[in-house]
């Protein structure tokens, strides 16, 4: 398995309304002149991205990393109310 060691941007394109989001989650990759300016922009952002440890089905940590997106504000509202078609609880299926 190939491990991703570095990634500094992530893009999401919405097919429905043409919204394009680009996340710059490190100061070095951000293009901002100062770290203070970059931090202020991160605080204003409705989307945050971070790398987290990934786990296998038995909850053991695996070598690869997982991308976690955090949504807030209008982006969270749009995603929760417009983009999600359905949510199904598969707990019993997984337990089998």
pLDDT of residue 18: 44
Closest CA to 65 of 46, 51, 83: 51
Which of the four pLDDT bands, split at 50, 70 and 90, describes residue 95?
confident
The neighbouring-strand residues paired with 12 are: 21
pTM over 0.75: no
25-62 pLDDT, tens digit each? 677 767 788 888 888 887 888 887 778 889 888 999 99
DSSP state of 3: P
Phi-psi region of 27 (alpha: psi -120 to 50; beta: other; left: phi over 0): alpha
**For residues 7 and 28, which has the higher predicted lDDT (pLDDT)?**
28
Cα 8 to Cα 34, 39, 40, 50: the distances in Å are 17, 15, 18, 10
**pLDDT, mean over the chain:** 74
Continuous H helices in the chain: 27-30, 35-44, 73-78, 91-95
């Amino acid at each position: 398995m190939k491990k991703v060691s570095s990634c500094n941007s992530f893009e999401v394109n919405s097919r429905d309304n043409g919204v394009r989001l680009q996340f710059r989650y490190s100061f070095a990759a951000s293009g901002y002149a100062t770290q203070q300016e970059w931090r202020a922009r991160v605080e204003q952002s409705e989307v945050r991205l971070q790398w987290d440890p990934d786990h296998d089905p038995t909850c053991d940590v695996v070598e690869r990393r997982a991308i976690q997106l955090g949504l807030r504000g209008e982006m969270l509202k749009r995603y929760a109310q417009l983009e999600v078609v359905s949510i199904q609880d598969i707990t019993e299926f997984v337990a089998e």
